[in-house]
Every structure is written in structure tokens, then in C-alpha cells.
């Protein structure tokens, strides 16, 4: 996939995985539109335009997609936005809050599908490249999709849904020349871990077979670029976890 002279969309672009991915795409010559619920603290990056957007809102995402498609042919969409609150199905205060469960599904799964569908609609209108390709969508799942831990019922459900979406989405969009892939990262050094102690981070790293460290957001972005640029990878979910298999807790 040729990126130079195109436009791309990245959700969750104000920090963490999304920020690293937006910067990596911009460095490849594509004009990036970084979507996030709060862009006030997003770092300025050349060739990245931040757009305050709720990924679960079809009107807001639709406007962002239209803006990106008007700037240049929309070829790439990357879903990085997500939330990960923890709660047991039966906790000290009773049953899992259904509204919280629904919110996690709404943001992580429905939000992913929202951009996937609307971006694909715009990509389908672009001129085809070699072999009829028009665009690529990369989603973000998690190893929790496979080995969800105690307290991750909602999060694992949402990320399992993203994994389950990947192949049928790739099959649905094949006729339009649009590929769909997913990354399932393990433990990544993101702002969510910035508040925990070095000792806690060291404990997390110790459970990873190799390399015995947390992944970097730049490594996630590197994998996303690979999935975008490798034209024969389609319908795949790739784990990026150092061979980690999560324990129950």
C-alpha cells in the first residue's frame, strides 16, 4: 500500500498506541487525522491533525471520515481507542454493573466497527491501485481476547469481539479492495502504566518469556505499518506479546 500523498485516520491518537501510530504514519507521508475524545493535551506532530471525536458517535466519526477523504484519498484507518475498567462478575458490592459492561462493549467493539464501516465506505470510492486495492483497516484487540484475567469480563468480551470481527470484515470488504487486520498486544508501556510503581512494572515484565520487558508503543506502530504495507496479509490477528500467556490473575 502506497502511503505517500494519502490520508489516514487513527483513533485514540492523543496518547499511547494511537499517538505512536499517528506519528509513524505521518512520517511515511500520509496526512493523519487523529481522533480522540479529548485532544487538548495531544502533542503537536507534523502532518497530524487532531479531531475531537467520540468513536461511538456515527455522526462525529462520519464528519471526520469526510474531512480526511476530502484532504486526500483515504487509504488507512487504525482503531486504537479503547477503555479497560476492571470489575468482577460478582464483587463485594454485588453483580457487575451492566451499564459499565455495556460502555466497554460500546467503546471498544462498537466504536471499532463504527470507524471500520464508515472508513470503508469512503475507501470504496477511491481509485483502485494495483490488484484493485483501495485501503486497509487495522484494529486493536488484546491478548485478553484469548486469556482474559479475573476482573476482565467486559474488556475480554469487547476484545474477543474485535478478533471475531476481523475475518468476516475482511471477507465482506474484499470485493471493494479493502483489507482488514488486527493487532493483539500484550503488556505495553502506555500512560495507563505510568501511575504504577517500578516494582509493579518489573513484576509484569518478569512474566513475559522473551524479551523480558514491556512492549513499547513504537513497536506496536511498527507492526501496524507492516500490516498496512504487506499487501497479502488480510483477515489476520497478530499477537504482539513476547510469547506471554496471561495467568488467571
Residue 33: which CATH number? 3.40.50.720
pLDDT score for 202:
78
pTM here is 0.95
pLDDT score for 205:
84
Task: For residue 78, tell me if it sits in a domain.
Answer: yes
Task: For residue 147, tell me if it sits in a domain.
Answer: yes
Q: Which domain holds residue 66?
A: 7-238
DSSP 8-class letter at 175: G
Task: For residue 2, tell me if it sits in a domain.
Answer: no
Task: For residue 11, tell me if it sits in a domain.
Answer: yes
Task: For residue 61, tell me if it sits in a domain.
Answer: yes
Nearest-CA neighbor of 221 among 46, 32, 78, 8?
78
Total tally of structural domains belonging to the chain = 1
Residues that are catalytic: 155
**Binned average pLDDT, 10 residues per bin, the chain of 249 residues:** 93 96 97 97 95 98 98 98 94 96 98 98 96 97 95 97 98 98 94 68 85 94 98 98 89
Task: For residue 247, tell me if it sits in a domain.
Answer: no
pLDDT score for 196:
62
Q: Identify each DSSP E strand in 69-213 by its residue range.
A: 74-78, 90-91, 94-95, 135-140, 178-185
Task: For residue 246, tell me if it sits in a domain.
Answer: no
Task: For residue 249, tell me if it sits in a domain.
Answer: no
d(CA 182, CA 204): 24
Nearby residues of 88 by Cβ (< 8 Å), 6 or more positions away: 96, 150, 151, 153
Amino acid at each position: 500500500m502506497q502511503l505517500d500523498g494519502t490520508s489516514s485516520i487513527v483513533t485514540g491518537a492523543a496518547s499511547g498506541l494511537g499517538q505512536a501510530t499517528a506519528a509513524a504514519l505521518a512520517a511515511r507521508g500520509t496526512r493523519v487525522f487523529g481522533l480522540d475524545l479529548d485532544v487538548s493535551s495531544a502533542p503537536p506532530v507534523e502532518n497530524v491533525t487532531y479531531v475531537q471525536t467520540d468513536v461511538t458517535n456515527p455522526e462525529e466519526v462520519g464528519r471526520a471520515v469526510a474531512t480526511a477523504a476530502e484532504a486526500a484519498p483515504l487509504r488507512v484507518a487504525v482503531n486504537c481507542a479503547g477503555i479497560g475498567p476492571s470489575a468482577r462478575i460478582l464483587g463485594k458490592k454485588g453483580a457487575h454493573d451492566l451499564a459499565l459492561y455495556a460502555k466497554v462493549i460500546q467503546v471498544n467493539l462498537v466504536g471499532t466497527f463504527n470507524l471500520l464501516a464508515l472508513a470503508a465506505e469512503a475507501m470504496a470510492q477511491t481509485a483502485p491501485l494495483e490488484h484493485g486495492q483501495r485501503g486497509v483497516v487495522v484494529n486493536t484487540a488484546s491478548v485478553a481476547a484469548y486469556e482474559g484475567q479475573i476482573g476482565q469480563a467486559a474488556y475480554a468480551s469487547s476484545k474477543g469481539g474485535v478478533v471475531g470481527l476481523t475475518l468476516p470484515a475482511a471477507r465482506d470488504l474484499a470485493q471493494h479492495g479493502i483489507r482488514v487486520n488486527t493487532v493483539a498486544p500484550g503488556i505495553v508501556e502506555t500512560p495507563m502504566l505510568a501511575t504504577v510503581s517500578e516494582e509493579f512494572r518489573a513484576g509484569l515484565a518478569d512474566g513475559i518469556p522473551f524479551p523480558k520487558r514491556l512492549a513499547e508503543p513504537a513497536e506496536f506502530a511498527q507492526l501496524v505499518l507492516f500490516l498496512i504495507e504487506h499487501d497479502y496479509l488480510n483477515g489476520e490477528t497478530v499477537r504482539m506479546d513476547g510469547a506471554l500467556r496471561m495467568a488467571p490473575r
